[in-house]
Chains A and B, each alone.
Chain A
Amino acid sequence: MGAHSAQSRNLRTLMAIGAAAAVLVAGCSSSSSGSGSKPANVNSANQPKNPTLVITANDIAGGKNSNEANWIQKTLIPDFVKSEAAKGITANVTFRPNGVDDTSYKSKLALDLQSGTGDDVFALDGIWVGEFADAGYLKPLTAVAGSQADSWDGWSQISQSVQALGEYQGQRYGVPNGTDARVIFYNKKLFAQAGLPADWQPTSWQDVYDAAAKLKALPGVTPVQWDGGVPMGEATTIQGFLPLLAGAGGSLWSSGKWIQAGAAFKAALGFYQKIYGGGFGDPVLQEDAKGRDKSFTDFAANKIGIYAESDYMWRSVVNPKGGTAPMADRDTAVGYALIPSETAGSGVKGQSFVSYSGGSDWSINPKTKYPQAAWDFLAFLNSKAETESRIGGAALITARTDVNQEVLANDPMLKFATEKVLPVTNFRPSQAAYNDVSNLVQKAVADVVGGKSPADAAAAYEKALEALVGASDVAPGP
């Protein structure tokens, strides 16, 4: 082995070379710069006749979102090519599947876009819009596709609140294509055994506690699953904590500022304390790295009484046809109810029932060579006919009211979600810092589930929030 001195000498040389290379690298990595966001002069009259488009989404045939991937490849693209051909344009469109976890997809999308390449039209989670816009990866639709992006007739069919999924700082960055709604699912068989009504609608948190107390008497049954752990990630924030916060009249972000952990925040954490400190929920499950999978399996196995989830539970988890934890008797055994505010009228905007929704958008790469064709594709994709064709009879909440009215009539749960839940729902702030704030929320909730007092967890959240976004961007609130 070499002597110490030789080793350190060589390390020193290496470091010197390293510093030089780093300077070089610094030069090439900071060469990207954004341009302004004035409306682009793009219109169908002067577009190239042979546009080439690459479309990407987090779908893959045979894997994640397989149906959508198949539809894009086998129906949407041929339909689009045909409709362009009718206009005398020969479009060459390919689909690039992904189908991996959302974090990896987001990283790949970001890497592609920052390198100035990236696919022409892509799908993204509505909650990424702020981050991507701030990074220059997205531009307002009008800046890419011109004023036609604002005059699109489809906007009239997408409700104002759902449109927010594609907006950032008052501008449209993407066209929402679907949303979801959080409700309380409950197991009617267990409810019957516990002497609870088959047609249950709690009107306060107390009603939930009362039902949980009765369910607790059943052997081997966990009364309530309310997502509350760090491993559950965003599920803990959006369907665990946020509906509670809204039910206590609070929100994370309001009129330009992040909100301190006030009374509403502590009340929401208090709900967790009641559930997990009171033996109504299984705190260990919240800490399990696979806790969400396990709680789904448990619900399907009639081991969980009350479960706050989105309509995803109904259509993809306990669905007897193709669910990951199918329940053959789903239609009769699984009930659903609105999430109540803490007490009647205590929710945001004085609501008695609340919910939170997420969803995804389709958007255009600002660097696309064919902005007109890309916009045409986006509009075509979100047209009534294609939206209907996309879901192909499967019950899914789309962004379009006209489609929802026709398609969801056949599925009582999703009909309930669109008619009763969407009117009272809320959307997460499309701020670039949201992801980080959400991590802090998960930590606070996990602390309470682990036994910390709501007041202490709220204080820790507030401190971390100020460190994250700066004290000047944090304001008091309800």
Chain B
Amino acid sequence: MARATSPRVPEDPAGLGRARAAGIAAPALLVVAAFLVFPALWTLYLGTTNYRLTGFAARHPRSVGLQNYTNVIQDPEFHHSLWLTFEYVIVSAVIGQAVLGFTIAWLLRDATGWFKRLIEALVLLAWILPSSVVAFLWVAMLDRDAGTLNALLRTPGTAWAIEHPMAVIIVFNIWRGTAFSMLLYSAALTGVPPSQLATARMFGANSWQQLRDVVFPHIRGHILTNLLLISLWTFNDFTPYQITAGGPNGKSEILPVYIYQTALFDGQMGLGAAISLLMLVINLVVALVYLRLLRERRQERVAA
């Protein structure tokens, strides 16, 4: 292994020291304190009020304690929305983006030439195009009468976004976000020593065994980062609103859309803030699950 993991190397090899470390981390921490922590906590505070953007509650917001939370938790629309969100995150991010991203990275790891460049460019293009533009592209592609998809599949008159709204936004999100996983795993795969793969092959390991025994142990940290980030981003992704508007009849009303409708369209800032905190807690639980899964794997390896 080329990595320097020997105990001789100290954790702080550059001799940074605590004071200097604090100094170089300070700008980031200051910006974060002022423009992230402060407004986020303020938002959480709004979640305990009935504050609205307009109307009487805008002038005289009242503290309502946990009422927003109890209202939301009892709202069947919220339960529905929550399940849709889980479905959306698990299928489109954890399964879709991560698996597809890894697959592309793995298949293209040794490839060179125009084919590889073309695939990477298209996958990345889907990721970097502005979200309002891609929403338009998908609306055009899925259109009932003029859409490219119906022309291609010879299914005239199929209103995809209405008949299969969840499938549409799930496939959309896979299309949209696979690039990040692909990039991350391509980078991670370069860190897997080719010598170890060669050794494994020499001992007759098939592809799956190579992946399991050589590749995964090396990229575990990257998998964790990847899952944490794409889950969080997918939980917060608002672009599906521009394709299905949460419809029809709330069938694709995932939580970010639910929050948007509540906070911006209905102007119920307090309620929207409360739902945001609930979403944060759910994200935290999801993160703990990931951490636990990866820790178990580490113990397995030690035992093996």
Contact = CB atoms under 8 A, between A and B. Distances in A.
Partners in one complex: yes
Contacts of A103: 264-265
A294 B142 CA distance: 13
Interface stretch (B22-30, B50-58, B87-95, B98-106): B50-58
Interface string B241-269: 01111011100000000000000111100
Contact of B159 (A231, A284, A436): A284
A289 B54 contact: no
B144 A135 contact: no
B59 A289 contact: no
A387 B61 CA distance: 40
Contacts of A106: 54
Contacts of A34: 59
A34 B60 CA distance: 10
Nearest to B161: A289
A289 B45 contact: no
B41 interface: yes
Contact of A446 (B139, B249, B265): B249
Given A22-B41, A22-B45, A284 B59 contact: no
Contacts of A4: 288, 291
Contact of A136 (B44, B45, B59, B267): B59
B162 interface: yes
A61 B44 CA distance: 39
B264 A289 contact: no
Given A1-B291, A21-B38, A289 B243 contact: yes
A376 interface: no
A288 B246 CA distance: 10
Contacts of B266: 435-436, 439
A25 interface: yes
B56 A432 contact: yes
B42 interface: yes
What secondary structure prevails in chain B residues at the interface with A? helix
Given A25-B41, A103-B264, A107-B264, A289 B56 contact: no
B55 A135 contact: yes
A104 B265 CA distance: 9
Contacts of B41: 17-18, 21-22, 25
Interface stretch (A126-134, A205-213, A342-350): A126-134
Contacts of B56: 134-135, 432
B248 A287 contact: yes
A287 B249 contact: yes
A128 B54 CA distance: 9
Interface string A232-267: 000000000000000000000000000000000000
B45 A26 contact: yes
A433 B42 CA distance: 26
A132 B54 contact: yes
A18 B44 contact: yes
Given A114-B58, A135-B54, A289-B139, A230 B44 contact: no
A99 interface: no
Given A22-B45, A25-B41, A134-B54, A1 B249 contact: no
Contacts of A433: 55
B54 A22 contact: no
The 9 A-B residue pairs with the shortest CB-CB distance, nearest first, are A287-B248, A135-B58, A22-B45, A289-B245, A131-B54, A18-B41, A432-B55, A136-B59, A134-B56
26 contacts: A1-B291, A18-B41, A22-B42, A22-B44, A26-B45, A103-B264, A106-B54, A114-B53, A128-B54, A131-B54, A131-B55, A132-B54, A134-B55, A135-B52, A135-B54, A135-B56, A135-B58, A137-B58, A288-B161, A288-B162, A289-B161, A289-B242, A289-B244, A294-B144, A436-B266, A446-B248
